[in-house]
């Protein structure tokens, strides 16, 4: 009985947290987030997926964080999305739950993380979502992935110049790349100007905000893809992080 009450409380918390940021979830979506949480914590016992495991923190710092302000870049004509360096599935899986019509690709260099995500996809009954196993630099050279996506997202830890080289090659001309950053990314954005230009992009917007009921600062940096990325980018694996374009 206690477990059922806890389950009910968690569902209510999920629905309230999303309503607070302007997203009304269906019962099915709330259940999917709860199942995702359970699988994340269970699998985390045997594999390092996240340092955050307490329910309220996962809800705030992973689920809400993944979709907060997403209405700014997920438009009616956004059909395809790739999450580069998805890790435990953030922000790609929450965005898929939130916007079930999206066709989503989750890219990561570690197979065991993708095995976990494939289990999540199956358990949650998600459709039109696939995982691909590549380093970001290598995947971006594959014809089936290069310049194929309306929206590219990444919450991976890397400086803005490096992230742009990893991610902009995946965006269609007219599409966008959205970098999820912690704190104020103003200085990073400034340093990445040359990289953005070289890779065919232009900074469209940078949004700064705190997660609800906290002083945890976040930035969303939106880069519009204006022209095709030169075939010389991304450079070979390892170079974008060792020698960021400046």
What are 37-67's pLDDT values in tens digits?
999 999 999 999 999 999 999 999 999 999 9
pLDDT of residue 241 exceeding 90: yes
> Quick check: 242 pLDDT over 70?
yes
Question: Around Cβ 77, how many Cβ atoms within 10 Å?
Answer: 7
According to the annotation, is 186 in a ligand binding site? no
Distance, CA of 133 to CA of 236 (rounded, Å) = 17
Q: Is 136 annotated as a binding residue?
A: yes
Residue written as token pair 């990314």: 185
Euclidean distance between the first and the last CA atom of the chain, given in angstroms as a whole number: 59
Q: Is the per-residue pLDDT at 3 higher than 90?
A: no
Q: Check the annotation: does 139 bind a ligand.
A: no
**Hey, how many other C-beta atoms are within 10 angstroms of the C-beta on 134?**
16
Contact 235, 165 (CB under 8 A): yes
CA angle 124–126–131, rounded 5-degree value: 105
DSSP strand pairing (201-210 vs 129-133): unpaired
Instruction: Place 4 in a pLDDT band, splitting at 50, 70 and 90.
Output: low
Q: How much of the chain, in percent, has pLDDT values that exceed 70?
A: 98
Cα diameter, the chain? 60
**Cβ atoms of 63 and 94 closer than 8 Å:** yes
- Three-state secondary structure call for residue 21: coil
pTM: 0.96
Domain boundaries, the chain: 2-227
Ligand-binding annotation for 90, yes or no, is yes
Looking at residues 114-138, what average pLDDT do you find? 98
Consult the annotation and say whether 85 binds a ligand. yes
Alpha-carbon distance of 136 to 5, in angstroms, equals 42
Task: Place 1 in a pLDDT band, splitting at 50, 70 and 90.
Answer: very low
CATH tag for 2-227 (out of 3.40.50.150, 3.40.50.1970, 1.10.10.10, 3.30.160.20): 3.40.50.150
Average pLDDT, the chain: 95
130-150: average pLDDT: 97
Q: 241, 77, 224: which is closest to 161 by C-alpha?
A: 241
């Amino acid at each position: 009985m206690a477990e059922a009450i806890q389950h009910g409380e968690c569902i209510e918390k999920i629905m309230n947290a999303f309503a607070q940021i302007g997203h009304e979830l269906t019962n099915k979506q709330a259940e999917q987030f709860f199942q995702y949480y359970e699988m994340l914590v269970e699998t985390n016992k045997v594999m390092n997926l996240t340092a955050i495991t307490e329910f309220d923190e996962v809800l705030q710092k992973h689920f809400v964080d993944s979709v907060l302000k997403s209405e700014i870049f997920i438009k009616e004509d956004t059909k395809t999305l790739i999450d580069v360096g998805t890790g435990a599935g953030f922000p790609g899986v929450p965005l898929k739950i939130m916007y079930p019509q999206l066709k989503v690709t989750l890219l990561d260099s570690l197979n065991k993380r993708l095995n976990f995500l494939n289990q999540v996809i199956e358990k949650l009954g998600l459709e039109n979502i696939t995982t691909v196993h590549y380093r970001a630099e290598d995947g971006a050279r594959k014809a089936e992935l290069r310049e194929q996506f309306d929206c590219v997202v990444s919450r991976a830890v890397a400086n803005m110049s490096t992230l742009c080289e990893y991610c902009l090659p995946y965006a269609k001309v007219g599409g966008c790349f959205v970098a999820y950053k912690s704190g104020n990314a103003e200085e990073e954005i400034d340093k990445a100007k040359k990289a953005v230009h070289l890779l065919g992009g232009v900074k469209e917007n940078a949004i700064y905000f705190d997660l609800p009921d906290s002083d945890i600062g976040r930035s969303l940096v939106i880069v519009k893809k204006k022209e095709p990325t030169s075939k010389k980018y991304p450079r070979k694996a390892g170079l974008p992080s060792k020698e960021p374009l400046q």
